[in-house]
Amino acid sequence: MIPVLGFAGRRVVVLGLGRSGLSAARGLSAGGAEPLCWDDRPEAREAAAEQGLTLHDLSRREAWEGVASLIVSPGIPHLYPRPNRWVADAMEAGVPLDNDIGLFFRSLAADGFHRFESPPRVIAVTGSNGKSTTSALIHHLLTESGRESQLAGNIGRGVLDIDPPGDGGIVVLELSSYQTDLARSLTPDVAVFTNLTPDHLDRHGGQGGYFAAKRRLFAEGGPDRAVVGVDEPEGRFLANQLVEAPEDDRLIRISVERKLSGPGWSVAARKGFLSEWRKNRQIASIDLREMKGLPGAHNHQNACAAYAAVRGLGLGPREIEPALKTFTGLPHRSQLVAEIGGVRFVNDSKATNADSAAKALAAFTNIRWIAGGLGKDGGIGAAAEYLGHVTKAYLIGHSARDFALQMDGTEHEICTDMATAVARAAADAQPGDTVLLAPAAASFDQYPDFERRGEDFAACVRRLAG
């Protein structure tokens, strides 16, 4: 556990008692603060009370008296589309807001760090798509090369629940826009920006606010090194803002869409080959095409980001390449569930928007596409350009009929539920086909989360296999 510094003897309210809120409460208590916990859900309050945490009813008139800070969980809005009522009350009372990520960065350095031969470092990864795979891949590359590494944030453990890093230890954080938007302290040693596509726009007041939330990771803390995807205008703008001159190698640009050149440092993947260039000279080349844990251009982008991040910490290409080959991928992200009669069944339930579904569709051909759920603005939108890869679509969930109207001549069938969709796709599939779950929609119409949706798909596939 990381004890939270700076609040010893002070009262701190923790709002939202999911994983991050409970972690924050424990970290505050370990640092000598008095955490006061609240959640509008009775079951969450009961679970916190069972852990010995103090509940604090925020509806009471005196609720904010003597409170030093309000720690807000990521799912709770603080500005757009409108502030949560308790957040609004805190701001009215002049109580500063923060979150567990801000507490982590202000508290990570310990008294014993000065005795370490190599101080611990933090790699923080943000972006719209690929954050989880990139973070997990960085962690994998580090551990395979013998470095001490811990994975936390939006993936793995709560940031304050990790062990204090040891000599040369590295903490890899996946950070969402909800987390970077509010954290009062953001000081990673290496910051990674994968890409930017429209998402969470209501929460950030539009695309500009969404980008601004991501940009804070680079603007607030001034990382020693930045890895930036430059395939979108926002990434190119961010990269431009971070350098003092074209040869400034504090920045590593990454791309899977363009050839990168110039005197700076870059990593790009084209036609399945990752290439590193520095000072107009090629440093390394790695063939990604047969790496089963990294299929498709979107995973090649993740590989570029992870490769660049660990290169920025001093790992060599000869260490990185064999570790890339042993990466098996993450559950629910282009995960090969089974191969039955020459037909692959791939679970990409994490494709909760059209852009991430497009990346999954681009990675395969002869696709039997299972899509649908609680659709987002624009429907299948960005995925439409890859409908040529789709032999037939099998549509489920709340948005099945809306998606059907956007199929643009692609054969499709409304199946409503997962079991029906898997059964129909499997019956139609021929050897060489891929049955792909890439919903392009949220899961909340039929499942509590995308993980449960992916697990249901996998269970349906296992029943096919007998």
Q: What is the pLDDT of residues 390-406, one digit of tens each?
A: 999 999 999 999 999 99
**239 backbone dihedrals φ, ψ, rounded to 5°:** -60, -40
Q: What's the rounded Cα separation, in Å, for the pair 53 and 212?
A: 35
Q: What is the pLDDT of residues 234-245, one digit of tens each?
A: 999 999 999 999
Tell me: is residue 133 an annotated ligand-binding position.
yes
Tell me: is residue 99 an annotated ligand-binding position.
no
**DSSP structural state of residue 258:** S
pLDDT band at 111 (very low <50, low <70, confident <90, very high): low
Q: What's the rounded Cα separation, in Å, for the pair 327 and 421?
A: 30
Q: What is the pLDDT of residues 145-159, one digit of tens each?
A: 999 999 999 887 889
Superfamily name and number for 11-98: NAD(P)-binding Rossmann-like Domain (3.40.50.720)
Tell me: is residue 127 an annotated ligand-binding position.
yes
Mean per-residue pLDDT, 51-73 = 95
Query: Are the C-beta atoms of residues 453 and 439 closer than 8 Å to each other?
Result: yes
For 191, the 3-state DSSP assignment is strand
Asked whether the predicted pLDDT for residue 110 surpasses 80, the reply is no
Asked whether the predicted pLDDT for residue 292 surpasses 90, the reply is no
Q: What's the rounded Cα separation, in Å, for the pair 38 and 19?
A: 13
Strands 273-278 and 281-287: antiparallel
Asked whether the predicted pLDDT for residue 124 surpasses 70, the reply is yes
Asked whether the predicted pLDDT for residue 306 surpasses 80, the reply is yes
Asked whether the predicted pLDDT for residue 114 surpasses 90, the reply is no
Q: What's the rounded Cα separation, in Å, for the pair 408 and 387?
A: 8
Q: What's the rounded Cα separation, in Å, for the pair 433 and 13?
A: 53
Asked whether the predicted pLDDT for residue 294 surpasses 70, the reply is yes
**How far apart are the two ends of the chain, measured CA to CA in Å?**
44
Rounded-to-10 torsion of CA 271, 273, 275, 281: -80
Q: Say what the pLDDT of residue 334 is.
A: 86
Q: Is 303 exposed, middle or buried, given 0-12, 13-18 or 19+ CB atoms closer than 10 A?
A: buried
Tell me: is residue 334 an annotated ligand-binding position.
no
Q: What's the rounded Cα separation, in Å, for the pair 450 and 455?
A: 9
Tell me: is residue 279 an annotated ligand-binding position.
no
CATH number for region 104-325: 3.40.1190.10
Q: What is the pLDDT of residues 201-258, one digit of tens each?
A: 889 999 999 999 999 999 987 899 999 999 999 999 999 999 999 999 999 999 999 8
Vertex 147 angle, CA 141 and 148, to 5°? 110
User: What residue has token string 């998402």?
Assistant: 199
The neighbour count for residue 189, using CB atoms within 10 Å, is: 18
Task: Give the CATH architecture of domain 335-465.
Answer: Alpha-Beta Complex (3.90)
What's this model's pTM, rounded to 2 decimal places? 0.85
Q: What is the pLDDT of residues 127-145, one digit of tens each?
A: 998 899 999 999 999 999 9
Q: What's the rounded Cα separation, in Å, for the pair 267 and 302?
A: 11
Which of 6, 375, 351, 16 lies closest to 179, judged by CA? 16
pLDDT band at 330 (very low <50, low <70, confident <90, very high): confident
For 370, the 3-state DSSP assignment is strand
Q: Which two tokens stand for residue 460?
A: 């349906």
* 19 compared with 114, residue with greater pLDDT: 19
For 210, the 3-state DSSP assignment is helix
Mean per-residue pLDDT, 109-125 = 85
* Residue 80, H or E segment: none
Q: What's the rounded Cα separation, in Å, for the pair 127 and 353?
A: 14
Q: Say what the pLDDT of residue 117 is.
A: 87
Question: Alpha helices, DSSP H only, in 330-405?
Answer: 354-362, 400-404
Domain boundaries, the chain: 11-98, 104-325, 335-465
Mean per-residue pLDDT, 340-364 = 93
* 201 compared with 22, residue with greater pLDDT: 22
Q: What's the rounded Cα separation, in Å, for the pair 241 and 396?
A: 43
Number of residues that make up the chain: 466
CA distances from 249 to 189, 225, 226, 232, 262 (A): 14, 8, 9, 21, 11
The neighbour count for residue 165, using CB atoms within 10 Å, is: 21
Buried b (16+ CB within 10 A) or exposed e, 230-249: bbbebbbebbeebbeeeeee
237 Cβ partners below 8 Å, 6+ apart? Answer: none
User: HSE of 400 in the Cβ direction (CA atoms, 13 Å)?
Assistant: 18
Q: What is the mean pLDDT of the chain?
A: 94
Q: What is the pLDDT of residues 401-453, one digit of tens each?
A: 999 999 989 999 999 999 999 999 999 999 999 999 999 999 999 998 999 99
User: What residue has token string 């938007």?
Assistant: 181
* 331 compared with 393, residue with greater pLDDT: 393
Strands 149-153 and 374-375: unpaired
Q: Say what the pLDDT of residue 377 is.
A: 84
Q: Say what the pLDDT of residue 466 is.
A: 72
User: Which of 242-246, 273-277, 291-295 shows the lowest mean pLDDT across its residues?
Assistant: 291-295
Q: What percent of the chain has pLDDT over 70?
A: 100
Q: Say what the pLDDT of residue 250 is.
A: 96
